[in-house]
Amino acid sequence: MITQGTYLNVVDNSGAKKAYCIRIIKGYKSRYAFVGDTILVSIQKLRSHRKSFSKVKTGELYQAVIVRTRLKESTYKGDSYKFLENAIVLLNKQNKFIGTRVFGTVPKIFRYTKYMRLISISSGLVS
């Protein structure tokens, strides 16, 4: 469960390390976002070894899709999953992924969303 003001880890190779949630782009006056939702973030910290040729800059605003949350969630099939961190993947203005790789696993629910390419660039799946 992500709300406005949450700090998140960026798990792609765009060059960002930490981001700050500014707004949830789910609906009118939405308070919480979950896995698969889109949010607006500000980049707070860059990865140290990628600062010189990073694709993003500190303080810039980007849209991002949530790939992991610490809150336990259930699927419609009865499966449940929970992660150890809140993590996102950055998107550009055309809703394409900025990075070309995703570190760590993503849930299988992305198989049924418009972000299906996320499965092919990640390192694994969690049911």
What pLDDT, in 10s, does the model give residues 35-85?
999 999 999 999 987 677 788 999 999 999 999 999 998 888 888 889 999
Residue 30 forms part of a structural domain: yes
**What per-residue confidence (pLDDT) applies to 64?**
97
| Position 75 in a domain | yes
Per-chain mean pLDDT for the chain: 92
Domain annotation covers residue 43: yes
Query: What CATH number is associated with residue 116?
Result: 2.40.150.20
Provide the domain count of the chain: 1
Domain assignment present for residue 54? The answer is: yes
122 occurs within a structural domain:
yes
Boundaries of domain holding 22: 7-126
Query: 22 in a domain, yes or no?
Result: yes
Of the chain, the percentage scoring pLDDT greater than 70 comes to 98
Q: Which two tokens stand for residue 74?
A: 């259930």
Instruction: Look at residue 50 in the predicted model and tell me its pLDDT.
Output: 64
Mean pLDDT on 100-113: 92
